[in-house]
Amino acid sequence: MVASGVLRSPPPGSKMPRLVAALAVVLLPLLSAAVGSAAAALPRGGGLGFEATLRHVDAGAGYTEEQLLSRAIRRSRDRVEALQSLATLAPGDAITAARILVRASDGEYLMDMGIGTPPRYYSAILDTGSDLIWTQCAPCLLCVDQPTPYFDPATSATYRALSCSSPMCDALYYPLCFQNVCVYQYFYGDSASTAGVLANETFTFGTNATRVTVPSVSFGCGNLNAGSLANGSGMVGFGRGSLSLVSQLGSPRFSYCLTSFLSPVPSRLYFGAYATLNSTNTSTTDPVRMQSTPFVVNPALPTMYFLNMTGISVGGYRLPIDPAVFAINDTDGTGGTIIDSGTTITYLAEPAYQAVREAFVSQIKLPLLNVTDTSVLDTCFKWPPPPRQSVILPVVVLHFDGADMELPLQNYMLVDPSTSGLCLAMATSSDGSIIGNFQHQNFHVLYDLENSLLSFVPAPCNLI
């Protein structure tokens, strides 16, 4: 049993910022009235399934098309910078890793879930790039705006704080301990982004027809929070770590079919037994072959979904890109290619992006627009074309180990409302590549962790 108010020693090589001490002074006394009784996580065998609706974080907010696009690109830029910083950390730098993961959790889609008994319903940001499930809790010393009241553990019959010896507590990047209660903390620069009690609670998921109630889901009950939740009330991690929803529910497969973020039609999430591509309606008379590619494990970032990307074709020509450009650096874990639902546009490692840009400039017979140095989209063409001039746009294919993803035109070209230019929905990256959700909208995408495969098939996501 850990003595009251004693913090665990930091991992070797890490430095404890003054914020940890401040957190202990401010947060821990509050916990004595909020922790409840400690309990260990209950094991769950087998799996379960449900369907859920995903809403874009900016849906229904009254933004113009230009605002929707600029907001999504800004979030993508911030997220990519955060994800790329993760692999450059010194071993054992858990505090910095936690800070970066929270920054990386700026996502694009919201999922409804019920917390507690009786359930209170919240919308959480779905994030395939992190693990922790958390929401803001009362009493709240520092909280950010959210559309619902804070979750109050005192009103739930099934809330139980986790002990410091819990395996879930050990799975945190940097746990604290107070009166044998596990306290989690994720940092956001020099201020706390979310900190509170790691607890078990009953969660409710799914739409009415598939609704399921699951006991003893471990989550963060945050009393100190900063940053932005993008119209949500928390986060739900779908990563590969033990704290993620996928791992905790024992159903190692999920899929989603994302509509355009400019469309008012919501997207769909399928979990467990409901996650299958076998009956996907492709709305075509020709059979469309489901394709699969294996996940690649990056020991430096084990929670992320890495793929073995092998090349890119533009206009039917395989570009002269060394496959090593897309590979993980075995020495330090940098580089590689991630598929990520929380990043909008695709970011390509600089040599790959330059090859794609040159191919577009040579194949599209339109004047290239000058863009500002701060613009994320910098491969843009004058649009619309002159009268009586037809324009042929090249087909783009992303090549993976065992699979080819041929992108529909609307998945890689967009009209930038700020310049009226026709732009490639890709940008350059200083380290590694990230396949964003803009590129896999109107694909039904299946994450099969049991077989370590990503599968996909084109689909009219607004109809399924």
Catalytically annotated residues = 127, 340
Distance, CA of 49 to CA of 276 (rounded, Å): 11
**Backbone angles phi and psi of 209, in degrees to 5:** -70, -25
- Comparing CA positions, the residue from 273, 306, 340, 294 lying closest to residue 125 is 340
Give SS3 for 297: coil
Q: What angle do CA 167, 446, 292 make, to 5 degrees?
A: 115
452: amino acid identity, one letter = S
- SS3 at position 145: coil
Query: Phi and psi for 9 in degrees, rounded to 5?
Result: -65, 145
287 by Cβ neighbours in 10 Å (0-12 / 13-18 / 19+) ranks as exposed
Gap between the Cα atoms of 378 and 430, Å rounded: 15
Please state the length of the chain.
464
Answer yes or no: are the C-beta atoms of 192 and 224 closer than 8 Å: yes
Question: For residues 87 and 431, is the Cβ–Cβ distance under 8 A?
Answer: yes
The DSSP line for 343-405 is --SEEEEHHHHHHHHHHHHHH--SPBPP--TT-S---EE-SSPPTT---PPPPEEEEETTEEE
